Structure 1
Amino acid sequence: MNEETLYKPEEIAQKLKLTKGTIYEMIKRGELQAHHIGRYIRISDTQFEAYLLKSNGYENIYEATLSNKNGETFANIGSVSICVNSKLEGNVKISIRPENIILAKGTFESSARNLLKGNVISIINNDDSAMVVVNIGIPIKALITTKSLIEMGIEKGTELYVVFKTMSVTVYK
């Protein structure tokens, strides 16, 4: 079993150059995940890394197992296989920024190694953009313009292809 370092909120505050009170507020709001051990709060390396990725715009974060097939590396998340570029092995985490994902109504020839079919399960509209959640065996978020959403006629239940390049996937331990 890998031993993870557990940090006190004060230690995370020092790393982020914030106050201890701000860290407690972030935990309370759910922005930073933490372990509650008795009366104590501890933040693991994994929880801290997830917070940093999310604060940099990464929302599609998954635990995966890497495998090699025909000279390509795949991150396997249940029945979903995502082509990645990594020298790491074994269990990893992967993340994909929603704005790096293309939604398509059909297949097309491209340099993108990941073309996964699914159905829209949720749409969150903002003024000029929409976060579209597609179930490809796992939920994945894609950020598109409201204009694209309307022109493509995307609504809950719409069948779409999720397309992204191997280089758009960040792999880390």
Structure 2
Amino acid sequence: MENDILYTPEEIAQKLRLTKGTVYEMIKRGELEAHRIGRYIRISQTQFENYLLKSKGYDNIYEAILSQEGNDTFANIGLPKIQVDTDLTGKVKVSIRPENIILSMGTFISSARNVHKGKVIDIIIDESKALVTVDIGIPIKSLITIKSLEEMSIEKGTELYVVFKTMSVIVYK
């Protein structure tokens, strides 16, 4: 949070064109993270940006340090190295939309540069879709159809591959 701008709930309300009360409710529900500083609530620029990304459907958000290996750029998020396409350097955040992540029972030849083996740790089923969380060293969420979930017999503990293209990874400061 170093050098991060702090906003009041009122300032966030103005940015989002909502009432102050709605912003407080969003904080209470956990939709918008905030800091409690004494009696005051403040929202950092980073927390606000994370909220905006999540509201646009970006759920897999990670802090990373970029590194070069030959002509390739990787976002280092601990154990998995994620290949990215960016001109940025140093500390960044990366985000991958859950619907851009393919789950596979095995490896296959494709244009996707990111292929990581992992184990299913959570499944949330909605009417026609399932949000599957796979631990690949970090928890990563993939959105698939119920039909795919059933046909692949995916359940907690299932080992599978998480596959996504370099271009699916959003990199920002």
TM bucket by the smaller chain? over 0.9
Give the drift of 1:2.
3.9
Superposed CA offset, 1:130-150 (max 9, x none): 111100000000000000000
Q: Which amino acid aligns with 1:67?
A: S
- Percent identical among aligned pairs is 72
Q: Matched residue pairs, number?
A: 173
1:10-49 equivalences under 5 Å are 10-49=10-49
1:85-96 equivalences under 5 Å are 85-96=85-96
Q: Secondary structure at the match of 1:99?
A: helix
Give the structure-2-normalised TM-score: 0.98
Superposed CA offset, 1:80-124 (max 9, x none): 100011111111111111000000000001000100000111111
CA distance in 2, matches of 1:122, 1:33: 23
1:166 has 2:131 as partner: no
The residue aligned with 1:61 is: 61
Q: Secondary structure at the match of 2:127?
A: coil
Unpaired runs of 5+ residues, structure 2, are none
Unpaired runs of 5+ residues, structure 1, are none
1:131 has 2:131 as partner: yes
The residue aligned with 1:102 is: 102
The residue aligned with 1:147 is: 147
Q: Secondary structure at the match of 1:149?
A: helix
Q: Which runs of 4+ in 1 moved over 6 A?
A: none
CA distance in 2, matches of 1:25, 1:2: 27
CA distance in 2, matches of 1:13, 1:123: 33
